[in-house]
Amino acid sequence: MKKVGVAILGLGVVGGGTYRILTEKREFYRETQGVDLVVESVLELDRERALALGVPQEKIASNIAEVVYNPDVNIVVEVIGGVEAAREYVLTALNAGKTVVTSNKELISKYSHELERAARRQNAGLYYEASCVGGVPVIRTLLDGVQSNCITSMMGIINGTTNYILTRMAREGLGYEEALAEAQALGFAEADPTADVEGYDSAYKLSILASLAFHTKVPVAKVFREGMTNVSAEDIRDGEALGYVLKMLAIGKRTGNHVEVRVHPAFLKKDHPLASVNDSFNAVHLTGDSVGDIMLYGRGAGALPTGSAIVSDIIYAATHGENKYSTFKNTAAADKDISFVSDFKSAYYLRFSVSDETGVLSRIASVFGKHNISIFEITQRAKQPGSMTLVIVTHETHELAVRSAVAKINAMDFARAESILRVAN
């Protein structure tokens, strides 16, 4: 039976989960996959942590050289996080001819071109299923499941922290800050939640997924990104009354040589498959030209779900003799023939505070008309003496038209936009 030696860089939450899966299920993989996966080395500065997990003392390395120049190590798993140290370690492993498996979405989104070049040069593998959507096998699906299709669009909830926060706001009527504090107390959100709530985490993942789905490099700098920190409980209540659910979405579309990639909060109709994805769960909805619609759903983070994706890559690498690389020209910049859409089209939800006086609605409608914005529905309610809350949902229109119209209305003395959110199809 083929024996494959594995090294793990970092025994934090994900690294510890990976070690546990590999050691506890070794016999299962021998029986079902025909391969003997043996953890030959770990690089962990906290030796007590490694020993507590059951790592033999002689297998605890003190530096990266001990790992990559160990002849018994075939596959190196990087789960230390961050960018610079991880980049150095991964390049060192690849240049030594070791196949690398990583869960590092920021590293892959920013430097996959550099890492893949090193991997090709040494005929080593580079696998990163765990970098996107935790235990949900979306990358394997794109590479080995729907490759007969041209993927025309994808839409997903690919960050568990933001989904948990929005779920709590919707279910319990919590404000954003209160829901965030709860997520932090439960360990769903970091002490500094910026990467999640401002959409950076989702943008890294969308950069990776869109590149694979659309067979062209989608640099993370091309992803339109808007955070969710200004979302209010009032918006969620208004959306609920109109038949919508608010989610933090990652959206990608390709039409010919035009690619659209964006991350932002958006309303979905309650009957959309993604609308029922709650708490820390993730899901990705794909549309292919032959297969139609597919949705993948599961846990987007955690020791065992993410460890599951890592071990899946390890098994794939161990049981396939030929390494697979990108199906597109993987460079730092996008292909010069690709145009990225900035003035994308969407429907919009807008909440205004307006003066309670005759003619306000007609004046707003006039501004919208001059910007070719068509109104789909309107609701209004008393706010306080002399003012009203006006909620407008538009038909599909252009992003720049909405921004321009809102700026025009805000310059007047009778109305002020308090919230602008997109409504996804």
- Give the residue numbers marked as catalytic: 205
Q: Please give the single-letter amino acid code of residue 220.
A: V
Distance, in Å, from the CA atom of 288 to the CA atom of 298, rounded to the nearest integer, reads: 21
Structure tokens of 214? 């659309």
Q: Which residue has 């997109």 as its token pair?
A: 422
Strand segments, DSSP code E, in 151-272 are 151-157, 224-225, 244-255, 258-269
Cα of 327 vs its chain's centroid, Å = 21
- 3-class SS of residue 247: strand
Distance, in Å, from the CA atom of 76 to the CA atom of 127, rounded to the nearest integer, reads: 10
Cβ contacts of residue 35 below 8 Å, gap of 6+? 1, 2, 3, 4, 29, 315, 318, 319
- CA proximity to 256, closest of 182, 339, 347, 319: 339
Cβ contacts of residue 253 below 8 Å, gap of 6+? 152, 153, 154, 259, 260, 261, 341
